[in-house]
Chains A and B, each alone.
Chain A
């Protein structure tokens, strides 16, 4: 599993890096061995992430236990997509519950049903993304069918899992009241336990730098964050359906 913050290359003096000369990496041939990082005298490249065992991760988590004890907080497994590493995630979840840590999984819901099923007993809270219930739009923009997302969601509801639904609001994709009404309807009609709350997450451009650092083009540069006013209007759709609703994470 890849864990760890991205480090800006060239940040050696805390001065912020220069941006002119970028190392060229052929990512299609790169196996992330890290040799380039070791040999580069100017520290132009940084390997983001490292290999960790379950014990390594648990060691890291234990460090913050006094803070969890005080705040009632715990561990959130996020990503990328944590369910993409099901064996590792399951092992971690079990270990967390063994040592009494609160667990939370932040997922796109795109995973085989048996993977989700296996996690259910070990997860205290699911942060569950719903981008659209329009299958065609979902297929086009997300790249997979929304059916799999909704099937997994039903599974969680019928197993009485705690779910916080998270709806990223993306201009030109799902930023209308109609889009939201469709999502709200699906959430309201779930059989089993209702989602605890709904978070509307306004689209942001924080990913741009990360793309740039990876030497990849950022195709969504032209999108603007939705206005607060629009966000509030969209949030009211969920409030009308009786959901506790928040704008933001």
Chain B
């Protein structure tokens, strides 16, 4: 890495996240003076106001420019969505993990200006006012979480249109759409007109914002003494004068064009999963190739540009979250997850020279942001996989690996066109989507083991003693395993209905009050439909519910079936009583449940068939049901950090898990219960129908020794290829000794740079909550590939 990149990287890594009041201040100024009636036009004008007035930052050494806040790691707030209270800000400032420094001046301004204006007017206030008591009970009990209570829907990824059209091209499309509006026959023509004009305002706003960077760069160049840097600043100015207004002409402009669009999206709203360029190697390769051929750029210069681009992602910590949302996603990482490899739109091997350059950059930069993954098709060469695995072996969790062929299959099953499917990929943690064409919104995590807890207690929450579920009967009177499953199914349906009702309200509120006209520019077919991204403007409109704890609930049900109904070692009444006491005085029973009962993750059909049964119940209950944006519900199996929060609200479970401890994570087996090696884990996991989901998350942990040498890489490559042949969606690896992690717990200061894989993303080990650290340590550490 060049000295420049080393400095940029160091500055980014050592920047302490802080709260910037700039965005909240400008937004408050705008809203207190503007009287536009149309919500979408008002949002567009608000963005234009921000873009015209926010501070412009061009740091020393930078080649790619633009920051969301006034400087790296200065994190804006979005009071129109969540207006942080002074108490929230104090918590953010002082909490042990993922804190954001809040200066007294920021506190003061919040107290005097921001809170008085926004309190009671934020989306969060609106949402909680509209939720039913049943919804609130379930939310408080930790049955499900709600993604949109502090952050906007986002969950989408760019395709190639930025590079092909530029804002000019998009504005032409808008003009054509306006031209075609039929005010006489289409009752929505006026709404469409407002939407399109709002989008046009946003397109102009981002160009104006880019031009402000050009102006500052020229200004800086004029006073720059170093001739080399002066040349660079002039070049930056030229690039920023050209993009994103016009289609880029070279790699530098292409990367900068994307970055401005990225900033537009994340300044407009704090949508989930950041935003990301998606299939970056597909988009950049033509520019890269042309630059190399014309001699405008060497490979080394391209590498440096790409590294500068990488740093920009790391400069943007996630918007600050509080409460349950902080618990379900406790990280600075904002889940921009760049794809590499996979298929071309024509279905051919999509790996190119830029893919390898990206892998080099991932390896060298070793940053938690952006996250990165390879899309691995059977058509991609082993060289590509092995290059990626040599990075994986270094132990910091990137890149993760996806089965590109399965991702395509998932999208086809969900009704997307073949071409859209091939241009799609995965984002966030593991979520499948048609890039540039889909709003695939995660609505919340669902606590599957908690639903079983309710089923075993006649709908009563064991933690609080409050009846929040359906009265499904006294479990001590159940005479068959089927009755347990019936009660579980009834609770599942009940709470999924409550969740979906809540989602319908929340999605409608966003559609009406919080449109995203800038994001709408970038996602087909918002322009053609004249409809906002948040109101069903995208070509595909998916709502996901993410199941959590499949390992824990499978082992619990398997233990009940085996010990209560098959072997009759204990009655269900006695078992439930022992759970209520967290096994106090029932240690031998706990031992039987934990050690001597069938466990998912060991290629044991007596457990795995129950996993399939639970999965199918969840799928049947959710998949294909309509959402209010004209799309459908699908399921995902991923947890981020929610398995820790969900575990904290669950009583002891029938698999021998103690009360309050984490649930199993993703579709991984319960921590430490997979005893027959990784091949058995993969066999068990592959019994799930991954094609029926929009993403599953599997974690494997290996000792570094196992992956030594070429043989280690070969074996790991075979393992990945086999899992994908069996239909797996995704796998990620931790390659670190439990011993090292324990050392880091004892002595965090000497291990600040230790990065581990959490669930769909990597993070600094020392930034994780103690419970999550313990959970990662407890994951089975495989020392051999076989049993």
Contacts and interface: CB of A to CB of B under 8 A. Distances in A.
Contacts of A70: 718, 721-722, 725
B680 interface: yes
Contacts of B603: 63
30 contacts: A5-B787, A12-B591, A12-B594, A12-B595, A14-B672, A41-B588, A43-B591, A43-B595, A63-B603, A63-B679, A63-B680, A63-B683, A64-B679, A64-B683, A64-B786, A66-B683, A66-B722, A66-B725, A67-B679, A67-B718, A67-B719, A67-B722, A69-B722, A70-B718, A70-B722, A70-B725, A71-B714, A71-B715, A71-B718, A73-B718
Interface in B704-734: 714-715, 718-719, 721-722, 725-726
Contacts of B718: 67, 70-71, 73
Interface in B648-701: 672, 679-680, 683
Interface in A8-67: 12-14, 41, 43, 63-64, 66-67
B778 interface: yes
B602 to A, nearest CB: 10
B259 to A, nearest CB: 40
Given A12-B595, A63-B680, A67-B718, 14 more contacts: A12-B594, A13-B594, A14-B778, A43-B591, A63-B603, A64-B679, A64-B786, A66-B725, A66-B726, A67-B722, A69-B722, A70-B722, A71-B715, A73-B718
A46 to B, nearest CB: 11
A99 to B, nearest CB: 18
Contacts of B721: 70
A39 to B, nearest CB: 13
A83 to B, nearest CB: 22
Contacts of A66: 683, 722, 725-726
A51 to B, nearest CB: 18
**Interface residues of chain A: helix, strand, loop or mixed (majority):** loop
Residues of B in contact with A, size category: 20 to 34
A231 B725 CA distance: 40
Interface string B113-140: 0000000000000000000000000000
A227 to B, nearest CB: 18
Nearest to A63: B603
Q: Which 8 A-B pairs have the closest CB atoms?
A: A71-B718, A70-B722, A14-B672, A67-B722, A70-B718, A66-B722, A70-B721, A63-B603
A67 B679 CA distance: 8
Contacts of B679: 63-64, 67
Contacts of A43: 591, 595
User: Which of B679, B714, B778 neighbours the largest number of chain A CB atoms within 10 Å of its CB?
Assistant: B679
Contacts of A14: 672, 778
A59 to B, nearest CB: 11
Interface string B433-463: 0000000000000000000000000000000
A12 to B, nearest CB: 6
Nearest to B786: A64
Contacts of A67: 679, 718-719, 722
A14 B591 CA distance: 12
Nearest to A72: B718
Interface string A187-202: 0000000000000000
User: Which of B603, B679, B721, B722 neighbours the largest number of chain A CB atoms within 10 Å of its CB?
Assistant: B722
A41 B595 CA distance: 13
Contacts of B725: 66, 69-70
Contacts of B715: 71
A74 to B, nearest CB: 12
Interface in B326-360: none
B21 to A, nearest CB: 48
A13 B656 CA distance: 10
B783 to A, nearest CB: 10
A12 B603 CA distance: 21
A153 B721 CA distance: 37
A67 to B, nearest CB: 5
A69 B719 CA distance: 11
Contacts of B722: 66-67, 69-71
Nearest to B673: A14
User: Which of B718, B719, B725 neighbours the largest number of chain A CB atoms within 10 Å of its CB?
Assistant: B718
Contacts of B726: 66
Contacts of A13: 594
Nearest to B784: A5
B223 to A, nearest CB: 59
A63 B721 CA distance: 16
Contacts of B786: 64
Contacts of A5: 787
B351 to A, nearest CB: 20
Contacts of A41: 588
A3 to B, nearest CB: 10
A13 B680 CA distance: 21
A43 B594 CA distance: 13
Contacts of A64: 679, 683, 786
Contacts of B672: 14
A70 B378 CA distance: 12
Interface string B588-615: 1001001100000001000000000000
A152 B725 CA distance: 41
Contacts of B787: 5
Nearest to A60: B787
A40 to B, nearest CB: 11
Interface string B558-598: 00000000000000000000000000000010010011000
Nearest to A66: B722
Interface in B759-787: 778, 786-787
A3 B710 CA distance: 29
Nearest to B714: A71
A13 B726 CA distance: 32
A71 B711 CA distance: 11
Nearest to B683: A63
A104 to B, nearest CB: 13
Contacts of A71: 714-715, 718, 722
A70 B594 CA distance: 34
A14 B656 CA distance: 13
Contacts of B595: 12, 43
Nearest to B595: A12
A13 B594 CA distance: 8
A66 B588 CA distance: 38
Nearest to A3: B787
A13 B595 CA distance: 9
B683 to A, nearest CB: 6
A230 B718 CA distance: 33
A73 B719 CA distance: 12
B589 to A, nearest CB: 12
A204 to B, nearest CB: 13
Nearest to A5: B787
User: Which of A13, A41, A67 neighbours the largest number of chain B CB atoms within 10 Å of its CB?
Assistant: A67
B743 to A, nearest CB: 16
Nearest to A71: B718
A71 B721 CA distance: 9
A64 to B, nearest CB: 5
Contacts of B714: 71
Nearest to B787: A5
Contacts of B683: 63-64, 66
Interface in A208-249: none
Contacts of A69: 722, 725
Nearest to A13: B594
B595 to A, nearest CB: 6
A43 B595 CA distance: 10
A71 B720 CA distance: 11
A14 B669 CA distance: 15
Interface string A113-149: 0000000000000000000000000000000000000
A73 B786 CA distance: 12
